[in-house]
Amino acid sequence: MEEEKPSLFSAGSGDPAVGSSGRGVGTLSINSPEDLLGYLPHALGYWPECSLMVLGLKGKQAGASLRLDLPDRHGSEEECLHYASQLVACLTSSVPGSEAIAVDGVVLALFTGLDWRDGEDPGYDRLMTCLLRELDIAGMSVREAWWIGQTSWQDSLQHTPTCQCLS
Contact indicator for 88, 97 with CB cutoff of 8 Å: no
| Counted domains in the chain | 1
Residue 2 lies in a domain: no
Q: Which helix (H) or strand (E) holds 20?
A: none
Residue 25 lies in a domain: no
What pLDDT, on a 0 to 100 scale, did the predictor assign at position 75? 87
| CATH number of the domain encompassing residue 132 | 3.40.140.10
- SS3 sequence of the chain: CCCCCCCCEEECCCCCCECCCCCECCCEEECCHHHHHHHHHHHHCCCCCCEEEEEEEECCEEEEEEEEECCCCCCCHHHHHHHHHHHHHHHHCCCCCCCCCCCCEEEEEEECCCCHHHCCCCCCHHHHHHHHHHHHHCCCEEEEEEEECCCEEEECCCCCCCEEECC
What pLDDT, on a 0 to 100 scale, did the predictor assign at position 17? 34
What pLDDT, on a 0 to 100 scale, did the predictor assign at position 142? 94
What pLDDT, on a 0 to 100 scale, did the predictor assign at position 60? 82
Residue 76 lies in a domain: yes
Residue 65 lies in a domain: yes
Residue 81 lies in a domain: yes
How many CB atoms lie under 10 A from the CB of residue 106? 25
Residues of the chain with pLDDT under 70: 1-28, 94-101, 116-122, 159-167
How many CB atoms lie under 10 A from the CB of residue 37? 21
What pLDDT, on a 0 to 100 scale, did the predictor assign at position 129? 92
Residue 83 lies in a domain: yes
Residues 75, 34, 89, 51: is their CA dihedral positive or negative? Answer: positive
What pLDDT, on a 0 to 100 scale, did the predictor assign at position 85? 94
Range of the domain at 54: 32-165
Residue 37 lies in a domain: yes
